[in-house]
Structure 1
């Protein structure tokens, strides 16, 4: 009998990412955060929303993760491209909307990469300013033993 692959982002890793990201947010005294962890296929693997989050934080966090995952680029690079090529990013957003998703091209969408450089998923966080959301995402990804890719050139 055929089986689906099980060598991608694990549920344990996804839960570690979300929990550690929220812990980082509390340590930094950030505003309440929503964390979304998507696997490489764009499916939600974990989500946690702190008490006191404002409306649409889930959709924004998911859009940050989905945007990064869609092009294999961290949120910082997506933000740069949205400035340089707004038509392209608008088309990406339209395509994401056709799939029932959003694409939010700003900091806070971070790819989760294994030691071999394979993208296992993406993390999106929303609640504070995007730069702080990204700090929490990085902490979560590193806590799971993975490497964050923010979209900054190496």
Structure 2
């Protein structure tokens, strides 16, 4: 979990490989209307997100033996919905706005414009103490983040 540009896709793919489980990219669950809205520079509303989050929860339910799915999961209510699919352990990739903004500016071919980072950061609700997960600082390399995420999942 984390805002756009935090490294979810890279770390998620690496973690799925390391764990030997299926991987899914949450962006692929968005309906075309959501992608068009974000591409135009408009943040999604909760109403836009509910069908997307339900589709991800369905994917979780369809993989009872485990899997890794990347998802911003910015709010507690979103994470609560994701957990309806089954047990979830969150790896929150967190960092300062300047680092993530620089990553977004360098990224090509993604529908999420850097201008929406501020709205994502405003919506972000950190993991609560009762939510299973770990927070990792994105200043580390993707390899180090993957290793830390792997270790955390082995102790959950």
TM-score, normalised via structure 1 length: 0.27
Structure of higher RCO (CA pairs closer than 8 Å, 6+ residues apart): 2
Structure number having the greater strand percentage: 1
Structure number having the greater helix percentage: 2
TM-score, normalised via structure 2 length: 0.27
